């Protein structure tokens, strides 16, 4: 285990808008990995906000992402990023190589921002995608924490 969280490897999760999938993945991976990893998310074309239904879906798991912000991947170009994980096809296609990058994964998920209907109908979509992201990123985070 690393001595401090600031020495922990950085995992960057990328999406196009950095408003839904990557925000949820960031929080879920950080919860699973604890201090073993530093986790951040960013977008190739950030939407400038975190989707309110993403915030609501995560709150249902007692995870508060209301203070998260939508970030541009350019903010990380000069940082040592050990692992880059893209969660949408567009981000996967435009993903640059970051300093220190050892690995890159693409784990694609449907975009909950595309959900239509009433808020409750949209929440069904958000919950499904959140739970899919949770399964994948929690398993990864627990595995990384155990390895360190």
- To the query of whether residue 88 is one of the catalytic residues in this protein, the response is yes
- pLDDT at position 5 is 64
- pLDDT at position 98 is 76
Instruction: Express each pLDDT in 34-85 by its tens digit.
Output: 999 999 999 999 999 999 999 999 999 999 999 999 999 999 988 999 999 9
**Closest by CA position to 126, among listed 138, 112, 111:** 112
Q: What is the pTM of this model?
A: 0.91
- To the query of whether residue 20 is one of the catalytic residues in this protein, the response is no
Task: State how far the Cα of 72 lies from the Cα of 14, in Å rounded to an integer.
Answer: 9
Residue count (the chain): 148
Q: Give Cα 52 distance to the centre of its chain.
A: 16
Assigned token pair, 18: 């950095």
User: Among 8, 57, 95, 113, which one carries the catalytic annotation?
Assistant: 95
Q: Is the Cβ–Cβ distance between 15 and 21 less than 8 Å?
A: yes
Instruction: Express each pLDDT in 8-24 by its tens digit.
Output: 999 999 999 999 999 99
Residues 6+ positions from 53 with CB-CB distance below 8 Å: 20, 112, 115, 119, 122, 123, 126
- pLDDT at position 102 is 77
User: Among 32, 36, 85, 88, which one carries the catalytic annotation?
Assistant: 88
User: Among 11, 13, 14, 15, which one carries the catalytic annotation?
Assistant: 15
Is the domain spanning 5-138 CATH 2.30.30.230? The answer is no
């Amino acid at each position: 285990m690393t001595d401090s969280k600031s020495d922990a490897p950085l995992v960057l999760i990328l999406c196009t808008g950095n408003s839904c999938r990557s925000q949820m993945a960031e929080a879920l991976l950080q919860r699973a990995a604890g201090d073993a990893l530093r986790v951040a998310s960013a977008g190739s074309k950030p939407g400038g906000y975190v989707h309110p239904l993403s915030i609501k879906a995560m709150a249902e798991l007692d995870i508060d992402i209301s203070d998260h912000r939508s970030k541009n991947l350019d903010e990380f170009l000069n940082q040592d990023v050990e692992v880059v994980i893209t969660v949408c096809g567009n981000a996967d296609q435009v993903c640059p190589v970051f300093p220190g990058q050892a690995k890159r994964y693409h784990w694609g998920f449907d975009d909950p921002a595309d959900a239509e209907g009433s808020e409750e109908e949209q929440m069904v979509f958000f919950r499904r995608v959140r739970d899919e992201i949770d399964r994948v990123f929690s398993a990864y985070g627990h595995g990384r924490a155990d390895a360190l």
